[in-house]
Amino acid sequence: MEKTTLKTLVLEQRENIIAKDKGLKRDSLSEVAPNLKLPHCLIIAGIRRVGKSTLLLQIIDSYFGEDFYYFNFEDERLVNFNIEDFNLLYEVMIEFYGEKKTFFFDEIQNIKGWETFVRRMMDKNYKFVLTGSNATLLSRELGTKLTGRYILSTLYPFSFKEFLKFKEYSLDKKDLLITEKKVKIKKQFDEYLKRGGMPEYLKYNFNTEILQRLYEDIIYRDIAARYGIKDMKTLRELALYYLTNITGEISYNKLKNTYKTGSVNTIKNYTEYLENSFLVDILNIFSYSIKQQAIAPKKVFCIDNGIADCISFAFSDNMGRYLENLVYIELKRRGETLYYYRTKNNNTVDFAVKRGNKISEIIQVCFDIGNEKTREREIKSLDQAMEELELNEGLIITYENEEIIKMNGKSIKIMPAYKWLIV
């Protein structure tokens, strides 16, 4: 890299990050704050345009003032930047801003070998806060050079609480007890259920081009270009299938036959690439047998309902799928380890939450449990799972139904999603 080019970029980017709208204060800000005092490298990962740079700005503004270096590697002028250029970049930063102890790097995974520079500087007691949009590259590089010296935090789209703040709705949990205010919360939830929580999409009044462009960037830049994909037709069709069938069960073998790839590994690899870009998430069945987990059907989820709604083929019954997808993402946002569960009678429970070495909570999602046949089926599945997993409590999340059922010494709570999201 030419030093003059780096000087231009360093000056431009620092001005841009300082002038940037600080946006809605993210809940993650308080969550990552304790880690800023540790010597470990803090990694903030997540899908493109989810607000990682904004969170970096909020961290800088809240805790560092002028005492930082900043650089964004998502810039086409850095096409020739390589690991040898890190020292030159550091030299430019010292020339402009003097000696600082904290580096903020955006989209660091774009530079091969970045972890070597970070490790060397960490050995000299420098602090790093990094962002990235590719899970596998980050994990591979972190595992080789930074083992035990980093903390990884995933940033998700807006939670419902953040969505309400964005909409300038002042939330008080007592509002759930007041009919008029509860109606307003439910109206906001209806929008959140369908539109999701991608910040720019909400900011610019649900302009679908924003999410469509995001989707194309992921497919072509994050996956096709990075992994050298030649069979774009299969990649695009598989991604579209997943987004159209969120919460559905998938079989790699069946998908191999559907798309005639010749090898199941092609489907597995493409799925892994989609996962690594944070576009989709794959959920395994719960089993103490690793082999059973591997061969059983899996369930597919999307990182955001708004993305699924904009990209997929819309169906009239999608709201039930959106509700389950929303619950899944919220559980992941809360840091839960998740599986789905199948009883000995072959009934399915949507989510089994594993804490420690056992399942400690099971959750069923049902849009409307008012129908007697549906009610009986959902309660029976949950009751069987509770019996097999030796649990006394279960949860059914619905669109608006609410009650507590006592049976056989067990308790099943039925709770509307909008309430579950904010209590």
pLDDT-derived band at 144, boundaries 50, 70, 90: confident
Rounded average pLDDT over 351-357: 96
Same domain assignment for residues 342 and 252: yes
Same domain assignment for residues 222 and 336: yes
* Cross-sheet strand order for the sheet of 102-106: 69-72, 102-106, 127-132, 41-45, 150-154
Same domain assignment for residues 346 and 233: yes
DSSP codes, 381-402: HHHHHHHHHT-SEEEEEESS--
CA distance 86 to 121: 11
Rounded average pLDDT over 348-364: 97
Structure confidence at residue 346 (pLDDT)? 95
Structure confidence at residue 313 (pLDDT)? 77
pLDDT-derived band at 57, boundaries 50, 70, 90: very high
pLDDT at 315 over 70: no
pTM, rounded to two decimals: 0.95
Same domain assignment for residues 117 and 228: no
Q: How far apart are the first and last CA of the chain?
A: 52
Residue 105 included in any domain: yes
Residue 338 included in any domain: yes
Structure confidence at residue 135 (pLDDT)? 83
Last residue of a domain, one of 118, 135, 154: 154
Residue 173 included in any domain: no
pLDDT at 360 over 80: yes
Structure confidence at residue 330 (pLDDT)? 98
- The pLDDT > 90 percentage for the chain reads 87
Rounded average pLDDT over 295-311: 97
Same domain assignment for residues 209 and 143: no
- DSSP β-bridge partners for residue 399: none
Last residue of a domain, one of 94, 120, 154: 154
Structure confidence at residue 62 (pLDDT)? 96
Say which residue, 94 or 408, is predicted with more confidence: 94
pLDDT at 18 over 70: yes
Same domain assignment for residues 223 and 317: yes
Same domain assignment for residues 121 and 267: no
Residue 187 included in any domain: no
Rounded average pLDDT over 282-309: 95
Phi, psi of 275 (to 5 degrees): -65, -45
Please, what is the angle between helix 264-276 and helix 135-145, to 10°? 80
Domain of 54: which CATH number?
3.40.50.300
- Print the domain residue range for 39: 3-154
Structure confidence at residue 316 (pLDDT)? 58
Residue 278 included in any domain: yes
- The pLDDT > 70 percentage for the chain reads 98
pLDDT at 124 over 70: yes
Same domain assignment for residues 120 and 241: no
Say which residue, 313 or 327, is predicted with more confidence: 327
Rounded average pLDDT over 171-196: 91
Same domain assignment for residues 125 and 236: no
Structure confidence at residue 276 (pLDDT)? 94
Structure confidence at residue 5 (pLDDT)? 96
Average pLDDT, the chain: 94
pLDDT at 245 over 80: yes
Q: Is 384 exposed, middle or buried (0-12, 13-18, 19+ CB in 10 A)?
A: middle
Same domain assignment for residues 139 and 208: no
Rounded average pLDDT over 352-373: 95
| 26-56: b (≥16 Cβ within 10 Å) or e | bebeeebeeebeeebbbbbbbbbbbbbbbbb
Same domain assignment for residues 135 and 264: no
- DSSP β-bridge partners for residue 41: 150
Residue 164 included in any domain: no
How many distinct structural domains can be found in the chain?
Answer: 2
Residue 192 included in any domain: no
Structure confidence at residue 164 (pLDDT)? 96
Same domain assignment for residues 361 and 296: yes
Structure confidence at residue 314 (pLDDT)? 67
Rounded average pLDDT over 296-304: 97
Last residue of a domain, one of 154, 187, 219: 154
Residue 193 included in any domain: no
